[in-house]
Copies of this chain bind each other. A is one copy, B any other.
Amino acid sequence: MKMHVLRLTPGQEVKTSLEEYVRREAVRGVVVLTCCGSLTSATLRLAAAPDGTTDKIKTFKKHFEVLGMSGTISRGGAHLHICLSDDQGGTLGGHVMGDLVVFTTMEIALGEATDVILDRQDDPATGYDELTVTKDQA
């Protein structure tokens, strides 16, 4: 594994910035190792309702601390979940759709696979593009 450490600055959008970084600097794909900073907005898809439907997307416009982010980013796209806290210490989270605009800073460490290639492909069982992990033949 090769570790990449980067800082994003005020106004940058986290998801697209990381997708661009990975396309340029870590073509085998990465996992998120650490993510610590602050945001002024976030658009999240929330967990499925009791009937299993997963369609509730909500945009939050407020100041958040990022307590953590997990997931993978590859040429197939990003799958990221984030945990945020507000000015009362209360927390919320979900699946990252976008609009993660940096307030003061965002410190991120990514772990790049060196012997496998991460990608995503459609899985009829779930209806989503799901993570694939294949040996790097190179």
Determine whether the beta carbon of A93 is less than 8 Å from that of B94: no
Q: How far is the CA of A35 from the CA of B72 in the complex (A)?
A: 9
Contacts of A116 in B (CB 8 A): 5
Contacts of A63 in B (CB 8 A): 47-50, 52, 54
Determine whether the beta carbon of A111 is less than 8 Å from that of B113: no
By DSSP majority rule, is chain A's interface helix, strand, loop, or mixed? strand
Contacts of A132 in B (CB 8 A): 7
Q: Which of A56, A104, A113, A128 has the most CB of B within 10 A?
A: A104
Q: Which residues of A contact B (CB under 8 A)?
A: 1-3, 5-7, 9-10, 31-38, 44, 46-50, 52, 54, 56, 58, 62-72, 79-83, 85-95, 103-105, 107, 109, 111, 113-114, 116, 118, 123, 125-126, 128, 130-133
Between A and B, 25 residue pairs with Cβ closer than 8 Å are A1-B111, A5-B116, A5-B133, A6-B133, A31-B109, A34-B72, A36-B70, A36-B71, A46-B86, A47-B87, A48-B63, A48-B87, A67-B68, A67-B82, A68-B81, A69-B70, A71-B107, A79-B107, A83-B83, A85-B92, A85-B94, A89-B93, A90-B92, A107-B131, A111-B111
